[in-house]
Chain A
């Protein structure tokens, strides 16, 4: 739960974007899309864990169970 996660998501995003561009330039559009998909899924995993923690925190704070 700190800025590192933000950098991690941004880094994965930038790397995925560059990789997709490189693959597209080489004419491998499908692989580029796969890379994008994998990147989105990986980031989604991180974000979903974060969201889960956040919701639990809110629930604990306001005593809603």
Chain B
């Protein structure tokens, strides 16, 4: 994993370099073979996401430890993490699609992501409602 190597400042140079390089290659390819340019942009996007994943993992660890310290219910913490993951993936797919000019499909993907997040959030919302009701009584 590249994240184990450079920290912070080095990382951003890597990422900007990768992005610029990918951008140049994609714009070079787009004139002749747009379908391949799209795949290249997917690959570049995945790489940038993956480069960030190691950082995200650390953030998640911090959040987990905070949650345990605050004595939050583990199930709720898991749900929140899942929601973040789903948002991550859905957003990635929607962005790639809208890059490729498929705005309609991108909107549907985003909507699906939102609905799944809603579903996952139902227990938390119920818990919040319960708490509010208990306060009102």
Contact = CB atoms under 8 A, between A and B. Distances in A.
A43 B63 CA distance: 38
A54 B32 contact: no
A14 B43 CA distance: 16
B97 interface: no
Interface string A27-64: 00000000010011001101100110111011101111
Name B's interface SS: helix
Name A's interface SS: helix
Given A58-B85, A61-B53, A61-B56, A6 B37 contact: no
B118 interface: no
B29 interface: yes
Given A47-B39, A57-B53, A58-B88, A17 B32 contact: yes
Given A14-B29, A58-B85, A64-B85, A6 B53 contact: no
Contacts of B100: none
Interface size classification for chain B: 20 to 34
B75 to A, nearest CB: 11
Nearest to A40: B35
A23 interface: no
Nearest to B36: A13
26 contacts: A6-B21, A9-B39, A13-B36, A13-B37, A13-B40, A14-B32, A17-B29, A17-B32, A20-B32, A36-B33, A40-B39, A46-B43, A47-B39, A50-B43, A50-B46, A51-B46, A58-B88, A58-B89, A61-B56, A61-B85, A62-B81, A62-B82, A62-B84, A62-B85, A63-B82, A64-B86
Interface of B: 2, 18, 21-22, 25, 28-29, 32-33, 35-37, 39-40, 42-44, 46-47, 49-50, 53, 56-57, 60, 78, 81-82, 84-86, 88-89
A-B complex: 6 closest residue pairs judged by Cβ atoms: A62-B85, A17-B32, A13-B36, A10-B25, A64-B82, A62-B81
